[in-house]
Amino acid sequence: MEQLTIKSSTNKYPIFVGTKLRFKTQALIGKEYNNIMIITDSSVESLYLQDVVNSFSEDIKISYAVVAAGESSKDISNYYDLMTAAIKNGLDRHSLIIALGGGMVGDLAGFVAATYMRGIDFIQMPTTILAHDSSVGGKVAINHPEGKNLIGNFYPPQAVIYDVETLHSLSDKEIRSGYAEVIKHGLISDQLFFDQVRSFDITTKIKDEDLTEHILKGIAVKAKIVELDEKESNQRKYLNLGHTLGHALESELGYGQITHGEAVAIGMLFALQVSENIYNSPLPYKELYEWLDRNKYPFQLPSLSVETLLGRMKKDKKSRDLTVQMVLLKGVGQPTIETLDDELLSKYLDDFLRELGKS
Amino acid sequence: MEQLTIKSSTNKYPIFVGTKLRFKTQALIGKEYNNIMIITDSSVESLYLQDVVNSFSEDIKISYAVVAAGESSKDISNYYDLMTAAIKNGLDRHSLIIALGGGMVGDLAGFVAATYMRGIDFIQMPTTILAHDSSVGGKVAINHPEGKNLIGNFYPPQAVIYDVETLHSLSDKEIRSGYAEVIKHGLISDQLFFDQVRSFDITTKIKDEDLTEHILKGIAVKAKIVELDEKESNQRKYLNLGHTLGHALESELGYGQITHGEAVAIGMLFALQVSENIYNSPLPYKELYEWLDRNKYPFQLPSLSVETLLGRMKKDKKSRDLTVQMVLLKGVGQPTIETLDDELLSKYLDDFLRELGKS
């Protein structure tokens, strides 16, 4: 088992990454709770819920709540039902909520914990690769029909317990989705990490040691940035590389049609192309494109209106005064933030989508 | 105009108390916002909304949202509608929400601000005496059918702007409700403040200077405690004097049947009686009773089941492991916290309600 510590503005919390950790949950938590509610989704429930429940001694009151798998569960209605469940289960200010699942569960359960009786402890137990990103840094939220994560808090967990064994039940699509964020952490931090991930074939089974290493390195990149700028006034924005177009694609195509990571992968390619144009410096567009292609990331999108996508990019909550801000790269490990003019952005986007469609 | 500064864990914010402040809102805010949404209720709208809107220069985008007056508006449905309104009005992370109204508006609008895009700035403009309590200290929340303020955050405002002129439109009931919290601040802090408030007849018009002084002193008591213990792990609990029974009465009788302060007033009498029994020391039960009676606080309650009230007291979110914690006094200015045995508490409550009914 490997361990990292994250410093947030309100606490310090450990991240444990390794195998079989779900069987040692109580021991890893290292604090006693009178009452624990586990929140999970319908896919994870049958796979890992019982293992986590069994890791606790019998004198601890444990309840659980299950939401349907899928991003659409991250809504106000599930949020409110979980609040009601927490009340019915008798949780008080000294109780604990465990988020067992992917990013959706982490965000939803985290927001429940952040606002139940004005905030109770919670622990993230990610079961996807993608969640190596969302489980660290304290962002919790639910979606609004008008946009993702529009309702939420900054609320760090008490610990992140990452059992990499749970990643073997992921579909190919989910593995691709997760590795897009891993490679993003490479692109914004250093060439070595980027090259290391790029050398991997993620279409065949990845060994636990490699999963542990990639996740740890990804988390370390994120942690370093989040510690500098928890509330996203500055450097934390770098983590949004690929996300401005990525989020627009996700909401335009409808959540579920394309995974978050697949959309971000396309967004990163776009960011690299814009960066090359603006900074006139060579960037690994081709290398990234080839790796994504080799690993079966989807590039064939239905025909999309540039104008509509641009409208969606402007609604992104990172945007200010309805102009689009994008994370670009001057080089690998050298992220920057640029505000882009609508006309220029439209042209770049039009060119990019046309070229991507041809591939 | 008088001014106080409050230190929270995340910021420092000024409290302005005086006359005609609603006409100077923009100047008092002292920071520029691109987009402002005012949240108010149907009673305050017709009285003061336009004054606040007019205090801003025309180049600032201002919108407003109005909820029905009354505690029942502090619910998930209004919360969500206000989120939607904020999105439609184009608020971004750098925008401002102003809560113009009493405690209900402050709590609701504050929780919207705390969770809109993970938190944007907000300013409290209280228009009730009661809100001198709720507008300071950063507690924001909505109610759940199972209990008050069960869903919320700790989220301090950027400023509190208190125009005491707005207090003259309050009903007698609302003035009583507010002064219960003022006198509570006297009881938990010092005899002089308690005696000063006790010497006032609040059934006739109170002068602006006196209102300013009482509110400032009340806020100063609260601020001192909140600065010591923002998250209510300790001393902040003292502010709940009278609230354990008070909340139970409110929810048992139905919100609207008795005001918050009227319920807290009865709760304080009960706390004084329990304190006298437990600590065997003389407390100003009689003085408080007489002042409340003189100022027409209602003591005639419908017949209530001790058992039901006790059940409600246990559901209070301050309770731990379903035992009742109460704030008691060893003397004026000497609050304490005691965990009370169910049987003893039932007996005290039974005696108290019987005696109160006779008066």
Output the pLDDT for position A323. Answer: 82
Say whether pTM exceeds 0.90: yes
Residue B319 has pLDDT above 60, yes or no: no
Q: Which residues of A touch B76 (CB under 8 A)?
A: 76, 80
Residue A179 · residue A297 · CB < 8 Å: no
A212 pLDDT band (50/70/90 cuts)?
A: very high
pLDDT digits (tens, 9 = 90+) for B195-223: 999 999 999 999 999 999 999 999 999 99
Report the C-alpha gap between B194 and B176 in whole angstroms.
15
Tell how far CA A311 is from the center of its chain: 23
**Statement: residue A249 has pLDDT above 80:** yes
- With a cut of 90, say whether residue B10 has pLDDT above it: no
The answer to whether B178 touches B129, Cβ cutoff 8 Å, is yes
- The residue behind tokens 């939401």 is A67
Q: Cα–Cα distances in Å, from B273 out to B252, B264, B338?
A: 21, 14, 14
- Chain B hits for A108, Cβ within 8 Å: none
CB-CB contact of B23 with B50 (8 Å): no
Picking from A76, A139, A319, the nearest residue to B118 by CB comes out as A139
**If you count residue pairs, one on A and one on B, with CB atoms under 8 Å apart, how many are there?**
81
Q: What is the pLDDT of residue B359?
A: 61
Average pLDDT over residues B283-296: 96
Model pLDDT, residue A90:
93
In B, which residues are within 8 Å of A139 by CB distance? 118
Binding residues of B for Zn(2+): 181, 243, 260
The residue of chain B nearest to residue A80, with distances taken between CA atoms, is B76
Annotated binding site of A for NAD(+): 127-128, 139, 148
Residue A9, pLDDT score: 86
Q: What is the reported pLDDT for A95?
A: 97
Q: Which long-range contacts (CB under 8 A, 24 or more apart) does B206-212 make?
A: B206/B175, B208/B19, B208/B164, B208/B165, B211/B129, B211/B164, B211/B167, B212/B2, B212/B17, B212/B18, B212/B19, B212/B164
Contact A156, A193 (CB under 8 A): no
A36-45, A113-122, A248-257, B325-334, range with the lowest pLDDT: A248-257
Q: Which residues contact B142 (CB under 8 A, 6 or more apart)?
A: B74, B75, B76, B78, B79, B107, B108, B111, B149, B151, B152
Q: How many whole angstroms separate alpha carbon A35 and alpha carbon A96?
A: 6
DSSP character string of B275-329: HHHHH----THHHHHHHHHHTT----PPP--HHHHHHHHHHSTT-BTTBEEEEEE
Residues on B contacting A at a C-beta cutoff of 8 Å:
9-10, 34, 76, 80, 83-84, 87, 90, 92-94, 114-119, 139, 141, 144, 146-147, 149-154, 231, 317-322
Lowest mean pLDDT among A59-68, A80-89, B82-91, B247-256: B247-256
In whole angstroms, what is the distance from residue B53 CA to residue B31 CA? 16
Banded pLDDT at A321 (limits 50, 70, 90): low
For residue B87, list chain A residues with Cβ-Cβ distance below 8 A.
144, 146-147, 150
Predicted local confidence at residue A41, as pLDDT: 98
pLDDT in tens, B68-111: 999 899 999 999 999 999 999 999 999 999 999 999 999 999 99
Instruction: From chain A, pick out residues whose CB is under 8 angstroms from the CB of B321.
Output: 34, 92
The tens digit of pLDDT for each residue in B153-207 reads 999 999 999 999 999 999 999 999 999 999 999 999 999 999 999 999 999 999 9
CA distances to A45, A322, B267, B280, B283 from B329, in Å: 49, 55, 13, 11, 8
Confidence of residue A320 (pLDDT cuts 50, 70, 90): low
Tell me: pLDDT of A18 over 60.
Answer: yes
pLDDT at B106: 98
| B106: closest CA of chain A, how far (Å) | 15
Query: CA-nearest residue of chain B to A233?
Result: B93
Q: Inspect the interface and report whether the beta carbons of A154 and B115 lie closer than 8 Å.
A: no
Looking at residue B321, its pLDDT comes to 59
